[in-house]
Chain A
Amino acid sequence: MQTTIDPAEVAKFEAMAAEWWDPKGKFKPLHLMNPCRLDYITAQIAAEYGRDLKGPLPFQGLRVLDIGCGGGLLSEPMARLGATVVGADAAARNIPVAQVHAEQMGLKIDYRFTTAEDLAAAGERFDVVLNMEVVEHVADPQGYLTACQELLKPGGIMICSTLNRNPQSFMMAIIGAEWVMRWLPKGTHDWQKFITPDELYTLITRAGLTPLDRKGMVFNPVTWSWRLSARDLSVNYVTTSRKEPMV
């Protein structure tokens, strides 16, 4: 298996793999953030492919890849909306966890123990690549994003989220989430690997994609929920980019 995933990072997530679907368990922060991420993802896909989210199975006919699918927190919603979903994870232990849960939900999802690089090499192509909270964990972000570009059909879109690198994100994501709230085990994130929005746009462009949109995701401690922000990209943020169709 050819991989750009840092082996030390995979081991950390393997250790966390069992409690994926407990909204009050270890993955509580992801469950809290999921509605906000899904609002962004669904709106971007609907806009790009002219789909009506109010109708039944709006994503029918779209092939979606969820990289770093974990327990399937994004793969399942995409399948429910009608998409044909491949969930890929470099941590083998996540795959049976995700498979068992999809079966309980009556959803058909193709979960695979593989990497973006291997899928690209095998010639797999998708309308949408979901690349959420992965790029800050890989050893070679440029190589990884280039593999994501290869995975897209011409005209396809990649949605990529990550963490900004500045004093505020250090306070929120490292001190706040790992040390104070204990939302994540200490050492989940390496702040040095965080990427600024401008750096990400440069990496995406060099990978051969056209950046289309970026938004911040902001946690509100009063309503205890996340919301999208056009202005505040200081900690968590998400981007959309397109592989231009060949002329």
Chain B
Amino acid sequence: MDADVLIVGGGLNGPALALALAQGGLSSVVIDARQPQARAEAGFDGRSYALSLASQRLLAAVGVWKGLTAQPILKVVASDGRAFDGASPFALRFDGAELEEGPAGYMVEDRHLYAAFLAALQHPLITHLPAETVTAQGEGWVELASGRRLTGAVVAGCDGRASGTAQRAGIKRQGWSYHQTALVAAIAHEKPHNGVAHQFFMGGGPLAILPLAGGHVSSIVWSEREAEADRIAALDDEGFMTALRPRFGDFLGPIRLAGARFTYPLTLTLAEHWVKPRLALVGDAAHGVHPIAGQGLNLGLRDVAALAEVLVEAKRRGEDIGALDVLERYEHWRRFDTTTLALGMDGINRLFSNENSGLRAIRDLGMGLINALPGVKRGFLRQAAGLSGRLPKLMAGQGL
């Protein structure tokens, strides 16, 4: 066998899985379609992640957190913003100080995170194969475009929502389109953000303003209905900023575009099966969720931590780590959690992306109630920090 686990996908979940497995003494090969150096050396473009506290702990446990440039999210303010007249007084304030574990999360730029992963992959238990793609696969083996054939106890599909690993294994997926698109950009502002994240719920969809390191740049995730998003995306930079300003408001002073603009259509996809004999799907390959609140990567990293824990435990018991009953422990652990969260976020988004005045009243009342009940709010905050549910060891500050 070439390695314990053959990891298909060199994005973030793939390298994270390789590092988590290495923590527990398992070897892996990371099959990465891209030439990764370019992405790691990219200049600032604003692409970033809101990492939950649980994700941060995983990164610390696998050795990529130390030295990483990150902005702690000290406070989260969610408000029911009326389109064109800013935030409503019924704002929901989540304060990191309400959580004894520390800040609810961190903002990290893609280029920094990816470079940290790339450096950490230089590990005796990990083989990184850049610019390689899988052309065929079976139970415990893959064939690469270069003609190379690799064998392992498990093939892990970390290859995103269009997962070729799932397709080759005949795993169907169910998907829904929200007919919404997320516009993502980095915005510079005159006043410091003080580590506060904002989420404005508006008719077209939510606008999230997430603080980046340095104090004067934030990343925005601005969701709009498909047609409106297409129109805004087609505008030039000045037109884009003119459309954004009334929604963003002036609480951070004058604003300007600080990086590239990206658009992501919002869809939800769930794979019919997460595991088959000698096969496991991880992250977006198993569940592509609506990216509000940055939960996509957080869910993926939780899969990574759970799968690594299941495989490492199985290996130490002497079990066949690719056996279906072993892999099903991972599926049972993660599938329920994820489906609940995916449908929950779907519901929140539908509830808030609506101008119906009855729904508005319910929303305002709901937010007022949540603010008034610290226990409930703390529950929401723990959920957002990724601290609820059965926590994998690597996310609970323990080693494997």
Interchain CB contact (< 8 A) of A77 among B24, B25, B319: B319
| A29 and B319 alpha carbons, distance in the complex (Å) | 16
Nearest-neighbor residue (CB-CB) of A224 within chain B: B332
Query: Smallest CB–CB gap between B288 and chain A, Å?
Result: 28
Contact: B25 with A35, CB < 8 Å? Answer: no
Contact: B324 with A35, CB < 8 Å? Answer: no
B325 CB-CB contact with A under 8 Å? yes
Contact: B25 with A54, CB < 8 Å? Answer: yes
Residue among A76, A79, A80 with the highest chain B CB neighbour number at 10 A: A80
Question: Which bucket holds chain B's interface residue count?
Answer: 10 to 19
Q: Majority SS of interface residues in chain B?
A: helix
A23 CB-CB contact with B under 8 Å? yes
- Per the 8 Å Cβ criterion, residues 7-59 of A in contact with B are 23, 31, 34-35, 38-39, 42, 53-56
Residue among B316, B318, B325 with the highest chain A CB neighbour number at 10 A: B318
Nearest-neighbor residue (CB-CB) of A31 within chain B: B325
Contact: B318 with A81, CB < 8 Å? Answer: yes
Contact: B318 with A35, CB < 8 Å? Answer: no
Query: Smallest CB–CB gap between B336 and chain A, Å?
Result: 11
Contact: A23 with B325, CB < 8 Å? Answer: yes
| A78 and B316 alpha carbons, distance in the complex (Å) | 10
Contact: A105 with B324, CB < 8 Å? Answer: no
User: Which residues of the other chain, A, contact B317 by a CB distance below 8 angstroms?
Assistant: 35, 38-39, 42, 77
User: Which residues of the other chain, B, contact A56 by a CB distance below 8 angstroms?
Assistant: 25
Contact: B318 with A42, CB < 8 Å? Answer: yes
Residue among A39, A77, A79 with the highest chain B CB neighbour number at 10 A: A77
B226 CB-CB contact with A under 8 Å? no
| A35 and B315 alpha carbons, distance in the complex (Å) | 11
| A54 and B332 alpha carbons, distance in the complex (Å) | 25
B323 CB-CB contact with A under 8 Å? yes
User: Which residues of the other chain, B, contact A42 by a CB distance below 8 angstroms?
Assistant: 316-318
- Per the 8 Å Cβ criterion, residues 324-346 of B in contact with A are 324-325, 329, 332
Contact: B318 with A55, CB < 8 Å? Answer: no
B230 CB-CB contact with A under 8 Å? no
User: Which residues of the other chain, B, contact A225 by a CB distance below 8 angstroms?
Assistant: 329
| A116 and B316 alpha carbons, distance in the complex (Å) | 28
Interchain CB contact (< 8 A) of B316 among A34, A54, A76, A105: A54
Query: Smallest CB–CB gap between B40 and chain A, Å?
Result: 31
| A105 and B320 alpha carbons, distance in the complex (Å) | 8
- Per the 8 Å Cβ criterion, residues 53-99 of A in contact with B are 53-56, 76-81
Nearest-neighbor residue (CB-CB) of A223 within chain B: B332
Interchain CB contact (< 8 A) of A55 among B25, B323, B325, B332: B25
Query: Smallest CB–CB gap between B389 and chain A, Å?
Result: 13
User: Which residues of the other chain, A, contact B332 by a CB distance below 8 angstroms?
Assistant: 224
| A38 and B318 alpha carbons, distance in the complex (Å) | 8
| A151 and B323 alpha carbons, distance in the complex (Å) | 32
User: Which residues of the other chain, B, contact A53 by a CB distance below 8 angstroms?
Assistant: 316
Can you list 9 contacts pairing A with B, beta carbon distance less than 8 Å?
A23-B325, A34-B319, A38-B319, A39-B317, A54-B25, A54-B316, A76-B320, A80-B319, A105-B320
Tell me the B residues contacting A by CB distance below 8 Å: 24-25, 313-314, 316-320, 323-325, 329, 332
List of 9 A-B pairs having minimum Cβ-Cβ separation, nearest first: A77-B318, A23-B325, A38-B317, A80-B318, A81-B318, A53-B316, A31-B325, A77-B319, A42-B317
Query: Known pairs A23-B323, A35-B319, A81-B318. 19 more at Cβ < 8 A?
Result: A23-B324, A23-B325, A34-B319, A35-B313, A35-B314, A38-B318, A39-B317, A42-B316, A53-B316, A54-B24, A54-B25, A55-B25, A56-B25, A76-B318, A77-B318, A80-B319, A80-B320, A105-B320, A224-B332
Tell me the A residues contacting B by CB distance below 8 Å: 23, 31, 34-35, 38-39, 42, 53-56, 76-81, 105, 224-225
